[in-house]
Amino acid sequence: MTTENGWRQRYEPVIGLEIHVQLSTRTKMFCGCELSFGEQPNLHTCPICLAHPGSLPVTNEQAVRYALQIALALDCEIAPRSIFHRKNYFYPDNPKAYQISQYDIPLATAGRLGDVRIHRVHLEEDAAKLVHVSASGRIHGSGSSLVDFNRGGTPLVEIVTEPDLDDPATAREWLQLLRTTIKQIGVSDVNMEEGSLRCDANVSLRPVGADALGVKAELKNMNSFRFLERGINAELERQAALLDAEEQVEQETLHFDPRSGELTPLRSKEYAHDYRYFPEPDLVPLAPTEAMLSEARESLPELPASRRERYLAELELADKQATQLAFDADLGAYFEAALAAADGTTPKVIANWVTGELVASLREAKADDADPASSRVSPDALAKLAGMVERKEISTGAARRVLATLVAEGGDPTRIVEREGLGQLDDSGELEAIVARAVESDPEAAARVRDGNMKAIGPLVGFVMRETKGRADGGEVTRLIRERLGLG
């Protein structure tokens, strides 16, 4: 971990993030072409998104609504009248040779999510996708390049944070929180691998205790949470080494290569632009009406931060568990569904089963990142199972076996319990007989327990569990053994 590194005593990281979120609207930002992913190239194009002469952009109202929802979820101030600008630069992924974006008057400013302040939120259009026919996958040195305009014009929301992060791991966690928040609203797939969530980081170091910011580098292309953390770490190391050697950090844009984990500066032609911003004369200002604002506000679902509060206060979940369920959108949705299906089961018991046993057995069954929603275990079944345990209808051990069956084949836990005879042994006569056999079969252990060595009870309990196929309740078994040995 970098926290162990010496430079941490001398320098303090200052990290800000710049996030691009592709909105999952039906159509593109400024034309009627449908959004698509992974389709045949240049299928979803029209005179507008191909920048034919005379074509004009028209703002997608759904994109504005989605962006407003994001801005409100981030607690931003919405500009009563924001405007679009043209950002001019030549590149084949940019057919108009300008991107319609927002500049000095963005859609929203001054927000907050968790501990991080939001500088601004604005709307813009995505570039087309370039495929460079070269080993590096970059335009320089490539023999030819192909352009796919399907992605060109996809609505993007850009979110810029204040430089409030001071640690790569925290940056990663915060980005996950942002992802969950946006996923919860349902306005984007926020998938980093597919590019519907992209994150650049502005990274600098300053002497501990200093107020002034150091020279920052902009890191691009960190297309997973892991890469974001690794990229920032690598850059912090690089800057610390420069500063230790009393060299200057240069303001530059660096490209993160996930394969080598290395950062390479982008050629000046790829980023050194005078964008010649000016107000887009083809569009009228964006002035959200009171009705649009209240509609956006009302359509916001419960967001991670307030969900966490509710889990703590009302459901009395543990802090870590509340955070996990509130900040992991998939798991949270699953938990909510299980809660809804539960019939009087304590929420905490369900939470334990979701965050503990379920996550563990899904991991075991598949790779990591298993999404409970797509598993065979329905929230309904899990709630039922947790209820049976809480009511001591089955033992914890038996419940684990039921869960394994559920993960493998799905189904109804009640049926599985019946079918496999896993019901709790409530006929204490039968259990007492098995306990008696256990004590007889291992007189040595029985003697040690009788002498007060409680650790020796393990083999005896194990015997009972084996005999009962785990149906017996562990506490009850221990009680009966002690009673049998005269320790009751």
Partner 1 sequence: MASPTTSELLELTAAGALRRIDEGELPADEVFDAYAEVAAAEELNAYLWRAEPGTRPTPPSADESEQLRGLPVAVKDLFCTEGIKTTAGSRILEGYRPPYTATAVRRLSQAGARVLGKTNMDEFAMGSSNENSAYGPVLNPWDRARVPGGSSGGSAAAVAGRLAPWAIGTDTGGSIRQPASLCGIVGLKPTYGAISRYGMVAFASSLDQCGPLTRDVTDAALLLRAMEGRDPLDSTSVGIDGGVELPSREDLGGLRVGVARDFSHHAEGVEPGVAETFERSLATIEQLGGSIEEIELPHAEHGISAYYVLAPAEASANLARYDGVRYGLRVDGVADLVAMYERTRARGFGLEVKRRIMLGTYALSSGYYEAYYGSAQKVRTLIARDFERAFERCDLVVTPTSPSVAFELGARTADPLAMYLSDYFTVPMSLAGIPAISIPAGLAEPPGGGTPLPVGLQLAAPAFAESRLLDAAHALELAIDFQERPA
Which residues contribute to the site for partner 1 (CB under 8 A)?
47, 50-59, 86, 88, 90, 92, 95-98, 139, 145, 147, 269, 274, 276-278, 281-284
Q: Least distance from C-beta 224 to Zn ion, angstroms?
A: 30
Q: Least distance from C-beta 274 to partner 1, angstroms?
A: 5
Nearer to partner 1, 269 or 437 (CB): 269
Question: Does residue 112 contact residue 118 with C-beta atoms inside 8 Å?
Answer: yes
- Buried/exposed 262-282: b ≥16 CB within 10 Å, e otherwise: ebeebeeeeeeeeeeeeebee
Nearer to partner 1, 96 or 183 (CB): 96
- Buried/exposed 203-231: b ≥16 CB within 10 Å, e otherwise: bbbbeeeeeeebebbbbbbbbebebbbbb
Element spanning 121, H or E: strand 116-125
Question: Does residue 431 contact residue 385 with C-beta atoms inside 8 Å?
Answer: no
Strand, coil or helix: 337: helix
Partner whose binding site includes residue 54, from partner 1, Zn ion, none (CB under 5 to 8 Å by kind) = partner 1
CA distance 202 to 192: 18
Partner whose binding site includes residue 276, from Zn ion, partner 1, none (CB under 5 to 8 Å by kind) = partner 1
Angle of helix 225-244 versus helix 168-185 axis, rounded to 10: 150
Question: Does residue 410 contact residue 439 with C-beta atoms inside 8 Å?
Answer: no
Q: Least distance from C-beta 298 to partner 1, angstroms?
A: 27
Q: Least distance from C-beta 369 to partner 1, angstroms?
A: 39
| Residues near Zn ion (CB under 5 A) | 31, 33, 46, 48-49
Partner whose binding site includes residue 33, from Zn ion, partner 1, none (CB under 5 to 8 Å by kind) = Zn ion
Nearer to partner 1, 59 or 176 (CB): 59
Question: Does residue 445 contact residue 457 with C-beta atoms inside 8 Å?
Answer: yes
User: For residue 373, which of 404, 333, 411 has the smallest C-alpha distance?
Assistant: 333
Q: Least distance from C-beta 154 to partner 1, angstroms?
A: 18
Nearer to Zn ion, 63 or 383 (CB): 63
Nearer to Zn ion, 22 or 204 (CB): 22
Q: Least distance from C-beta 409 to partner 1, angstroms?
A: 54
Partner whose binding site includes residue 95, from Zn ion, partner 1, none (CB under 5 to 8 Å by kind) = partner 1
Nearer to partner 1, 115 or 282 (CB): 282
Partner whose binding site includes residue 97, from partner 1, Zn ion, none (CB under 5 to 8 Å by kind) = partner 1
Q: Least distance from C-beta 97 to partner 1, angstroms?
A: 3
CA distance 213 to 12: 10
CA distance 394 to 373: 25
Nearer to Zn ion, 7 or 149 (CB): 149
- The greatest distance separating any two alpha carbons of the chain, rounded to the nearest whole angstrom, comes to 96
Partner whose binding site includes residue 175, from partner 1, Zn ion, none (CB under 5 to 8 Å by kind) = none
Q: Least distance from C-beta 183 to partner 1, angstroms?
A: 31
Task: Report residue 85 as tokens.
Answer: 């600008």
Nearer to partner 1, 270 or 330 (CB): 270
Range list of β-strands (E), 235-387: 252-257, 262-265, 278-279
Nearer to partner 1, 225 or 271 (CB): 271
Question: Does residue 66 contact residue 155 with C-beta atoms inside 8 Å?
Answer: yes
Q: Least distance from C-beta 70 to partner 1, angstroms?
A: 23
Partner whose binding site includes residue 49, from partner 1, Zn ion, none (CB under 5 to 8 Å by kind) = Zn ion
Nearer to partner 1, 56 or 360 (CB): 56
Partner whose binding site includes residue 487, from partner 1, Zn ion, none (CB under 5 to 8 Å by kind) = none
Partner whose binding site includes residue 372, from Zn ion, partner 1, none (CB under 5 to 8 Å by kind) = none
Residue entry with tokens 């944070």:
161
User: For residue 369, which of 216, 212, 166, 226 has the smallest C-alpha distance?
Assistant: 226
Cα atoms found within 13 Å of the Cα of residue 419, Cβ hemisphere only? 9
Partner whose binding site includes residue 266, from Zn ion, partner 1, none (CB under 5 to 8 Å by kind) = none
Q: Least distance from C-beta 151 to partner 1, angstroms?
A: 16
| Cβ burial, residue 317 (10 Å; 0-12/13-18/19+) | buried
Task: Report residue 318 as tokens.
Answer: 């543990």
